[in-house]
Amino acid sequence: MTTEVLSTNIFNKIRSKFGDIQLGDSEGNVTADPKTATFYDFEYTEDSDTFGRMSISLADGESMKVYYNKNLTDKIDEDSKSEFFSFLKELKDLAVQHGLKFDVRDITKSNLSSQDFKNLADTNQTVNSDSMSEEL
């Protein structure tokens, strides 16, 4: 499958659950075209509760990196936590289907800025995945 298919599949998976999705392209610029997106930033919500922002990066072409605010899981009750981990597993399954590694990281920032997208696009750094990746 092509990168465009993966990009669109990720966008559709996020859009089916959450609103207010910001997309970025491989240069780190904001885009409205899901086919060219390599970065996705959105608010993780369940019912009427807002838990924090999540970001997904496909910038390095080898892995799907998921970033979320480390306080996000602290705010979620047990029922919602299982939904959160289920969503992460869906993303992991999508990554594996497309032959990508899956990397989940918690970050201290509440959301990634466009400058963060540009920095990620420039560096494509890989850091060891945390215990959540192992849990999935």
Determine the pLDDT at residue 72: 83
Assess contact for 22 and 30: CB atoms under 8 A: yes
Determine the pLDDT at residue 8: 94
Query: Residue 108, exposed/middle/buried by CB under 10 A (0-12, 13-18, 19+)?
Result: exposed
Assess contact for 44 and 84: CB atoms under 8 A: yes
Determine the pLDDT at residue 128: 38
Determine the pLDDT at residue 21: 94
DSSP SS3 for 27: coil
What's CA 68's distance to the chain center, in Å? 8
Determine the pLDDT at residue 30: 92
Assess contact for 40 and 55: CB atoms under 8 A: yes
- Residuewise pLDDT in 10s, the chain (136 residues): 568 999 999 999 999 999 889 999 988 899 999 999 999 999 999 888 888 889 999 988 899 999 988 778 788 888 888 889 999 999 999 999 999 999 998 876 555 555 665 655 554 444 433 444 444 4
Distance CA 71, CA 86 (A): 18
